[in-house]
């Protein structure tokens, strides 16, 4: 952190006006308490700023904060020191007065040659780049394999054999079967994929034991930076912002974790990662009322909709170990999209699939159970509710209803598929559609239409065992069967 130098413009003004009287922080003392080097300067004195910057760069054991005391809008006769110069143009008349006060005679966007040359670092940068290139060429000759690996990671490329080994693992999970909580299936995936991808850098906001994000060989990064896991503490926003920075730096694929409900604390950083198109993997466990007695403060309802409607973010909610493995692989492969992987606390039943169905998981949505006879209705489900949908399929099929089950672990990827595939999964002429998910119902009307029905949540949860809560809120096999029967 000794490389971090932060300049703080302390001008005493906010958008609302003078901060005196309500901003009582002692910024210097606060950052010194954090262990920073703090330097105070006159923000209008270039010599002081230069000396402070050199002092900050010389301090290599801790970050530095340079507090620059300034007057906002300095030089403007009528607006300097006022909030009026904070977020609005000075205005044509005030610009003329300011130019006179500063003796600035150059045209707009024109710099004096002396000033330009003082800030021009092209020649210096060119020398530094050539020196670095020469050093790296020497490194490549001495350590060709390490140099190649470094370039691969910095370029964000996956190992040449990653795809084949990852697909083999997905197929293995399908063949092994077995009921498992998807958070545990996630941990199994990390344990398998991390040795293939040493740049995978994990972390959790003080919930590693619950999120199950630790893997065999995980080593915490402390004063010794030779590690591969970060214990972030209870700081969901800071954790997610740091992950964005790691992704921007390059060379690592960061994943971070907390409860789905606590995503709210990280929301702005999640959005920024999506806006910047960074490959960050967000692991969110305890995904619904299925977490049970912790109650409505911990039971997410609207969070899935919030994530799914975030542009450029891909949200996965897998229903078993195979979909969990596929979600991890697709998130790792997603170079320009962050991903949110949503996992359950409770055990989920394994689903039977053929090889085509396993491959189609990567398309975001696929037919998990085909109709018997003529297609009359479609059930769409995700995560823990896929099991309910499959039970309803069995009951309805036994009663002669031609119903199929569509598992849609990632709706955002499904809608990116070509029209022919989407039509094959969700034929437009089948209007009898029921979606079931233990989350807010509104998101699913885009798939079921006004003629369809959605079984899910419209209120906050309650504190009770999971099976009782599912009954209380009407998220049951019987409810799915009744909904389908009402539409056919």
Which residue numbers are catalytic? 236
DSSP 108-139: TT---HHHHHHH--HHHHHHHHHHHHHHHHHH
Is the Cα torsion angle 94, 98, 99, 100 positive or negative in sign?
A: positive
Residue 122's CB: how many other CB atoms inside 10 A? 7
**Residue indicated by tokens 């996965």:** 316
What stretches of 205-307 adopt beta strand conformation (E)? Answer: 229-231, 253-259, 281-285
Q: Are 68 and 45 in contact (CB under 8 A)?
A: no
> What's the rounded Cα separation, in Å, for the pair 225 and 250?
16
Q: Point out which residues pair with 453 in neighbouring strands.
A: 434
Quick one: which H or E segment has residue 210?
helix 208-211
Is the Cα torsion angle 173, 174, 175, 179 positive or negative in sign?
A: positive
Angle at CA of residue 354, ends 417 and 425, nearest 5°: 30
Which strands make up the sheet holding 5-10, listed edge to edge? 5-10, 64-69, 37-42
């Amino acid at each position: 952190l000794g490389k971090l130098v932060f300049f703080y413009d302390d001008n005493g003004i906010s958008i609302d006006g003078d901060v005196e009287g309500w901003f009582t922080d002692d910024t210097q003392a606060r950052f010194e308490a954090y262990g920073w080097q703090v330097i105070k300067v006159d923000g209008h004195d270039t010599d002081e700023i230069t000396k402070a910057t050199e002092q900050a760069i010389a301090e290599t054991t801790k970050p530095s904060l340079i507090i620059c005391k300034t007057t906002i809008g300095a030089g403007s006769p009528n607006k300097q020191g006022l909030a009026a110069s904070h977020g609005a143009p000075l205005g044509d008349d005030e610009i003329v007065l300011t130019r006179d006060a500063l003796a600035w005679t150059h045209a707009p966007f024109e710099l004096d040659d002396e000033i330009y040359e003082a800030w021009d670092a092209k020649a210096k940068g060119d020398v530094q780049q050539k020196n670095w290139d020469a050093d790296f060429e020497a490194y490549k000759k001495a350590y060709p394999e390490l140099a190649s690996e470094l370039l691969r990671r910095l370029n964000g490329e996956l190992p040449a054999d990653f795809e084949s080994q990852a697909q083999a693992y997905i197929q293995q999970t399908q063949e092994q079967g077995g009921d498992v909580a998807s958070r545990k299936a996630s941990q199994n995936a990390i344990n398998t994929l991390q040795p293939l991808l040493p740049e995978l850098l994990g972390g959790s906001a003080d919930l590693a034991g619950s999120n199950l994000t630790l893997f065999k060989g995980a080593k915490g990064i402390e004063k010794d930076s030779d590690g591969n896991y970060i214990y972030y503490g209870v700081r969901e926003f800071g954790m997610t912002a740091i992950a964005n920075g790691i992704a921007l730096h390059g060379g690592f694929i960061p994943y971070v974790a907390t409860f789905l409900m606590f995503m709210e604390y990280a929301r702005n950083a999640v959005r920024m990662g999506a806006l910047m198109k960074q490959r960050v993997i967000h692991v969110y466990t305890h995904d619904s009322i299925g977490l049970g007695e912790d109650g409505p403060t911990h039971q997410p309802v609207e969070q899935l909709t919030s994530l799914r409607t975030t542009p450029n973010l891909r949200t996965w909610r897998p229903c078993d170990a195979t979909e969990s493995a596929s979600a991890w692989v697709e998130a790792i492969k997603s170079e320009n999209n962050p991903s949110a992987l949503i996992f359950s606390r409770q055990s989920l039943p394994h689903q039977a699939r053929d090889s085509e169905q396993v491959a189609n998981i990567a398309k975001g949505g696929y037919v998990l159970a085909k109709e018997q006879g003529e297609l009359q209705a479609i059930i769409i489900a995700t995560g823990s509710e896929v099991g309910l949908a499959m039970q309803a399929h069995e009951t309805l099929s036994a009663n002669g209803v031609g119903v199929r089950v569509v598992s849609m672990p990632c709706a955002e990827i499904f809608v990116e598929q070509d029209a022919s595939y989407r039509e094959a999964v969700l034929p437009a002429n089948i209007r009898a559609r029921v979606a079931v998910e233990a989350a807010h119902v509104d998101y699913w009307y885009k798939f079921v239409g006004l003629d369809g029905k959605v079984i899910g949540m419209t209120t906050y949860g309650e504190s009770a065992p999971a099976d009782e809560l599912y009954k209380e809120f009407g998220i049951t096999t019987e409810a799915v069967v009744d909904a389908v029967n009402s539409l056919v």
